[in-house]
Amino acid sequence: MTLSTTTPVHPLLQLSEEVAGALAAGRPVVALESTIISHGMPYPDNVAMAQEVEQIVRDGGATPATIAILDGIPRIGLSPDQLELLASDEGVIKVSVRDIPYVVATRTHGATTVAATMRLAALAGIRVFVTGGLGGVHQGGQDTMDVSADLTELGATDVAVISAGVKSILDIGRTLEVLETLGVPVVGYGTDEFPSFFSRSSGHRVPMRLDTPEQLAAMMRAKWELGLSGGISVANPVPAEDEIPSEEMDGVIAQALADCAARGITGKDITPYLLGRIVEITGGASLRTNIALVRNNARLGAALAVAFAAPSS
């Protein structure tokens, strides 16, 4: 893939030729994040997942746009070599919104979280974004104030984010409360229950449910055409055959949280540590589920981007 040397959207953004061409023609594009590659899964499963997800989006009739910052340049659409670099380079920084200017100014490599990916996708004009799991209110967050910027970004930026919900490493109930306060619609896709990433259930209901990509696209149009700015959280449960029941995950997550506290890990390092520890404790089973749910989200994301790009009836 050749990469464009022009700057068609924003002078600081670099779009791949494939993504620039699709956007210019009004064809469907799906944004993909990169923290999930660099800090969310071990090498080499992470790069295999990243390539496979791009292929699923293509097979679904949309153009994938994996987003990251390389040598200080925010890039929308990556080459296979760039995916490999993000997956294997130990020095890649986890970049949320607050980190973007630092990584750009110091010309380093950064993998973007949900929040940072949403912001860069919106700057490029992309409205559909696929990830695995959202950040949220951490357990004890009412005291530590450890609340992911993913939530504030969902409150502010016009992008629909497809995830498999929120892991119970977070406080799911408080995360849903904050999303309500921020005016973010949380839509269950084919479900009445908010999913908890590895599991289809969480014990929390979703405030609204839709069952087709066309209905989701209609809701995106309704929201933004009314000037109701901000994101939409589409909660897409992991397929039943790939789920790990929440009763099984509860003990694993409790162990990972205890290990995290014992090691004194804080701030932005908490989520990557917990994800890695859960893979270790489950002997890789959690990684298989994680990859399966990202695939499932990519299929829905492509269908949603296609429905949103189609003229509304």
- Does residue 146 bind Mn ion (CB under 5 A)? yes
For residue 268, indicate whether it is catalytic: no
Q: Is 94 among the annotated ligand-binding positions? A: yes
In which element (H, E) is residue 52 found?
A: helix 45-59
CB of residue 297 to Mn ion, shortest distance in Å: 22
- In terms of CB distance, is 26 or 284 closer to ligand PSU? 284
Q: Is 269 among the annotated ligand-binding positions? A: no
- In terms of CB distance, is 218 or 265 closer to ligand PSU? 265
CB atoms within 10 A of CB 309: 18
Gap between the Cα atoms of 249 and 169, Å rounded: 10
Please identify which residue in 150, 171, 193, 243 interacts with ligand PSU, judged by CB under 6 A.
150
- Does residue 275 bind ligand PSU (CB under 6 A)? yes
- Does residue 40 bind ligand PSU (CB under 6 A)? yes
154: CB partners within 8 A, 6+ apart: 118, 134, 161, 179, 182, 184, 230, 231, 232, 233
DSSP annotation of 147 reads B
CB of residue 131 to ligand PSU, shortest distance in Å: 6
Which residue among the candidates 18, 54, 153, 167 is catalytic per the annotation? 167
Which stretch in 9-17, 58-66, 142-150, 204-212 sits in contact with ligand PSU by CB under 6 A?
142-150
- Does residue 237 bind ligand PSU (CB under 6 A)? no
Pairing between β-strand 93-95 and β-strand 29-32 as defined by DSSP bridges: unpaired
Q: Is 301 helix (H, G, I), strand (E, B) or coil?
A: helix
Answer for the pair 110, 99: CB distance below 8 angstroms, yes or no: yes
Q: At 161, which amino acid appears?
A: V
Q: Is 186 helix (H, G, I), strand (E, B) or coil?
A: strand
Task: Tell me the HSE value of 238 on the side-chain side, using a 13 A CA sphere.
Answer: 29
- In terms of CB distance, is 135 or 237 closer to ligand PSU? 135
Query: If you search the block for the tokens 């469907």, which residue do you land on?
Result: 28
Answer for the pair 228, 194: CB distance below 8 angstroms, yes or no: no
- Does residue 150 bind Mn ion (CB under 5 A)? no
- Does residue 231 bind ligand PSU (CB under 6 A)? no
CB of residue 35 to Mn ion, shortest distance in Å: 12
The contact set with ligand PSU (CB under 6 A) reads 33, 35-36, 40, 96, 113-114, 132-133, 135, 148-150, 167, 268, 271, 275
Q: Please report, in range form, the residues annotated as the binding site.
A: 94, 114, 146, 148-150
Q: Please report, in range form, the residues annotated as the binding site for substrate.
A: 94, 114, 148-150
Q: What positions carry a catalytic annotation?
A: 33, 167
The contact set with Mn ion (CB under 5 A) reads 146
